Amino acid sequence: MIVVAALWISVLLLTGGFALDRILSTSIVRNFDDQLTYVIKGMIAASEIGPDGEVRFNRPPADQRFIEPYSGVYFQVSGEGADTFPSRSLWDRRLQVTDGHFDLETHIYDSNEFGDEPLRVAERDVILPGSDVRWRFQVAQSREMIDDQIRELRSTLFWSFLALGVGLLILAALQTFYGLWPLRRVQREVADIRSGTKQRISDSFPSEIEPLTEEINQLLAHSEAQAEEARRHAGNLAHALKTPLTVVTNAATADAPDLCKTVIREAAVMRRQVDHHLARARAIGRRTSAQARARVWDSVEAVQRAVDRLYEHATVDIAGDKRAQVRVERQDLDEMLGNLVENGAKYGNGRVFVTVERDGEMIDILVEDDGPGISEADRDSLFARGARLDTGKPGTGLGLAIVRDVAEIYGGRVRLEESEDLGGLLARLTLPAG
């Protein structure tokens, strides 16, 4: 019943909405075209031939946007064998002139010749008194205004028809209320799972309810797998800490003369292990949120401010896509970028360059420095826990390992390359786009 009612209501609303959209959108475009036609007629009326055979206006156009560079409103007068007369707003660009046709009446069309600025172009061919040249007058305006009006119109139609459709569907849905009574069974089975009586929801449900029960069962399986993964990480951490603790205990029991050095050394080992496993545990816990989003530019700027305070000799520059987002929790993104940018500032000669680029469904974050770089043979070894090539500077050797592990948890990766611009190391962090 609800499907039949929804289909019939949807067909009626879509048909009516489409008809209204066509009528009103056409009216908006027609009014826009009339303005272009009025402007081009005014240009032709104000045109005359100068002493050198060029076109000039006996009165300037009234619209001040023609003299503002890249204002979105342009004109151009061109003729065969004559210099093109463009508006100042075109600056270093020119409108395309297509030969092979003679427009006695105003010809209006859409053009994408300026790339990111779609245009609505009106053109007309005229032979002016005192000249044998066929002059083509062109007026172009950005489609942004009419596109905004059409978007606003469609938004109004959408929400209006949506409200009407929802109201009708609610009435139809009330008729099916008792038809969805099996959901009560789902509620009881979930309660049984919580009490420990069952481990999964049974499969004996109508086809309308089966997708819900399948998702709940998958969620339960995912939770169990996550708990098992947490237990495994706890076991790994315990195993990693067992050896350093044994060394410290033996040294203390034997009252070894180098007890202090032993404790310091083994404590550093344990701290590296704890930091590593905690970073992985945090990322694994957060990746379950499908709504996790972080703006890359905000995170890079925060890291830039922190690094500027820590390393006064280093300069961090940022470029690229300011609107890029990744499906990563902000804290994890800050930690990955902080490790990469801090390494560039610490081991470079003062310059760090961060670039944000989109590559299909992924976002590339490139961190380059002007340091000595790292040979290709040593790059992979840096991702090992505790690996460091320069032991003369402070650090635990876990930064890149943490970056790699956290990136992989979110479905990303990190690679080390050679910077072509700065000559040092380039770290390429690739994460799923949000």
pLDDT digit string, tens, across residues 76-103? 888 887 888 888 988 888 888 887 677 7
pLDDT at position 231: 73
Residue 160 pLDDT > 90: yes
Mean pLDDT of the chain, nearest integer = 82
Q: Which of the four pLDDT bands, split at 50, 70 and 90, describes residue 2?
A: confident
Residue 81 belongs to a domain with what CATH number? 3.30.450
- Measured distance CA(97)–CA(100) in Å, rounded: 10
Q: Which residue has the tokens 């065969």?
A: 80
Question: Using an 8 Å Cβ cutoff, are 80 and 134 in contact?
Answer: yes
- Measured distance CA(375)–CA(62) in Å, rounded: 64
Which of 231, 260, 286 is the last residue in one of the domains? 286
Strand, coil or helix: 426: strand
Q: Please return the burial class of 323, using the count of CB atoms within 10 Å of its CB with bins 0-12, 13-18 and 19+.
A: exposed
User: In terms of domains, do 142 and 10 share one?
Assistant: yes
Q: Which of the four pLDDT bands, split at 50, 70 and 90, describes residue 204?
A: confident
Q: Which of the four pLDDT bands, split at 50, 70 and 90, describes residue 389?
A: very low
Q: Transcribe 17-51 into DSSP letters.
A: HHHHHHHHHHHHHHHHHHHHHHHHHHHHHTEEE-T
pLDDT at position 290: 53
pLDDT (tens digit, 9 = 90+) per residue, 225-260?
A: 777 766 766 666 676 677 777 777 877 888 788 888
pLDDT at position 192: 84
Q: Which of the four pLDDT bands, split at 50, 70 and 90, describes residue 131?
A: confident
> Which pair of structure tokens corresponds to residue 287?
């990746």
Assigned domain for 156 exists: no
Q: Transcribe 79-145 into DSSP letters.
A: ETTS--EE-GGGTT-------S---SS-EEEEE-TTSSS-EEEEEEEEE-TT--SEEEEEEEEETHH
pLDDT (tens digit, 9 = 90+) per residue, 59-72?
A: 888 888 888 898 88
Q: Which of the four pLDDT bands, split at 50, 70 and 90, describes residue 382?
A: confident
β-strand pairing of 315-320 with 351-359:
parallel
115 φψ region: left (φ > 0), alpha (ψ -120 to 50), beta (else): left
pLDDT at position 46: 86
Residue 319 pLDDT > 90: yes
Assigned domain for 172 exists: no
Q: Report the largest interatomic distance among the alpha carbons of the chain, rounded to a whole angstrom.
A: 112
CA 78 to chain centre: 42
pLDDT at position 353: 93
- Measured distance CA(88)–CA(66) in Å, rounded: 6
Please tell me the total count of domains within the chain.
3
User: In terms of domains, do 421 and 301 share one?
Assistant: yes
User: In terms of domains, do 7 and 140 share one?
Assistant: yes
pLDDT at position 282: 62
Question: Using an 8 Å Cβ cutoff, are 139 and 43 in contact?
Answer: yes
Residue 257's domain spans which residues? Answer: 189-286
Q: Which of the four pLDDT bands, split at 50, 70 and 90, describes residue 159?
A: very high
Cβ of 250: how many Cβ atoms within 10 Å?
Answer: 11
User: In terms of domains, do 278 and 301 share one?
Assistant: no
Share of the chain above pLDDT 70, in %: 88
Which of 234, 266, 286 is the last residue in one of the domains? 286
pLDDT (tens digit, 9 = 90+) per residue, 332-350?
A: 888 889 889 988 888 888 8
pLDDT (tens digit, 9 = 90+) per residue, 350-380?
A: 899 999 999 889 999 999 998 888 888 777 7
Question: Using an 8 Å Cβ cutoff, are 272 and 397 in contact?
Answer: yes
User: In terms of domains, do 273 and 301 share one?
Assistant: no
Residue 185 pLDDT > 90: no
pLDDT at position 240: 65
Assigned domain for 61 exists: yes
User: In terms of domains, do 11 and 113 share one?
Assistant: yes
- Give the mean model confidence (pLDDT) for residues 381-396: 50
Alpha-carbon distance values, 107 to 33, 120, 337, 420 (Å): 10, 11, 54, 50
pLDDT at position 208: 78
Q: Please return the burial class of 188, using the count of CB atoms within 10 Å of its CB with bins 0-12, 13-18 and 19+.
A: exposed
Residue 395 pLDDT > 50: no
- Measured distance CA(365)–CA(362) in Å, rounded: 10
Return the closest-CA partner of residue 336 out of 245, 430, 424, 423: 430
pLDDT (tens digit, 9 = 90+) per residue, 253-289?
A: 887 888 888 788 778 777 766 766 666 666 565 555 5
pLDDT at position 202: 80
Residue 15 pLDDT > 70: yes
> Which pair of structure tokens corresponds to residue 311?
């390393």
Q: Please return the burial class of 185, using the count of CB atoms within 10 Å of its CB with bins 0-12, 13-18 and 19+.
A: middle
pLDDT at position 284: 62
- Does the predicted TM-score (pTM) go above 0.75? no
Question: Using an 8 Å Cβ cutoff, are 55 and 47 in contact?
Answer: yes
Strand, coil or helix: 1: coil
Residue 382 belongs to a domain with what CATH number? 3.30.565.10
Q: Which of the four pLDDT bands, split at 50, 70 and 90, describes residue 391?
A: very low
Integer Rg of the chain from CA: 34
Assigned domain for 345 exists: yes
